[in-house]
Amino acid sequence: MANFVVQRKSPQELTQEDLDSLVQWTTDEGWDPYTRPSDIKHLYGGPPYLDAKVFFGFLDGKRIGHVVLFTYGKDGGSTDLMDFITFFIVEKSLRGKGYGLKIWNAMWECRDTSANTCLDSVVSLISQYGSLGLNIEWDNREYIIPLLAIAEKYKVTENIENVSTKPLSEIKFEKYAEYSAKVYGLSRSVFLKKWVALPESFTWVAVNENDVVGCITIREGVDKQDAIVGPLYSDNLEIAKKLIYTAAQTMSSQTSSKNLRMCIPTGGSNAIQMIESDFGVKCDHNFPRMCSKKPKVDISKVIAIHSPGYG
């Protein structure tokens, strides 16, 4: 009789083999446009450690699947917490046999039931997640835009009055983290410190006098052709255009990237209408955000999410 067990680990307990499996299966699933191998190793592989739980399924001693549960909010002393579910994968040859459900159930039972449980779903699983009490809050829609088109269309944003863009290193990190928390609805300082330090990534802030009014992080994709935006927060769309232009200029001059890839949420900022109108592009993929409670995020300021894997 087959022996199946689920093993739970914290990031501090992950071995190189654990990290390698997270990388390999994510790549095999085609999630690598948003989750590069170097991202996983950087985020999970060392201090400061993320507040996360990783659940591995083993069949007769062989690793066959995993799911990850992030908890956001504790590092800021917030009473509003989010449990974000990601990296739910089972070996393709063993799907449909109930092993994925056992891995999922082990994770589900470890949630903080007072927290808001969220994930970014594929369309085919909406009904399944809905049966667990998760509801669609908005749709994340993916767009791919040529960098040259951005340089031509948004060059005028260089001269927005009273707003300047500068590298994150030129302001106090705490001001950036405070702005992010105001938009996202809870603090994620430890995660953000690791996120902005991702290899081959750049982060800028938009500043009006001494106030942060926007921010953008962008990094090279696996194929080196797409520059991946996430997050992009801003007080309005004109500031967002300025940040997109700044990012596009840097990626064009310092990398081999040809396109900009971003996931834009519906529901507040009109960024989707802006991008479709300005560049004549259509949605490439969509990833509905589903939650157990109404999130406190200021969706009007979220122009692009971090990625479908990190919220």
For 116-142, the pLDDT digits (tens) are 999 999 888 899 999 999 999 999 999
70 CB-near residues (< 8 Å, 6+ apart): 50, 51, 52, 82, 83, 84, 85, 86, 191, 310, 311
179 CB-near residues (< 8 Å, 6+ apart): 205, 212, 213, 215, 233
Which tens digits make up the pLDDT trace of 154-186? 998 877 778 999 999 999 999 999 999 999 999
Please state the rounded mean pLDDT for residues 233-245.
96
Which tokens hold the place of 134? Answer: 């998760």
pLDDT score of 282 more than 90: yes
| pLDDT at residue 76, rounded to an integer | 66
pLDDT score of 1 more than 60: no
pLDDT score of 35 more than 80: no
Question: Are 276 and 282 a contacting pair, CB within 8 Å?
Answer: yes
Which tens digits make up the pLDDT trace of 259-273? 999 999 998 789 999
pTM of the model: 0.94
Question: Are 264 and 143 a contacting pair, CB within 8 Å?
Answer: yes
Set out the domains of the chain in order of their start, with CATH numbers: 4-139 (3.40.630.30), 140-304 (3.40.630.30)
User: Strand 82-90 and strand 62-72: pairing?
Assistant: antiparallel
Mean pLDDT of the chain: 91
CA angle 51, 53, 58 (to 5 degrees): 160
Please state the rounded mean pLDDT for residues 233-258.
94
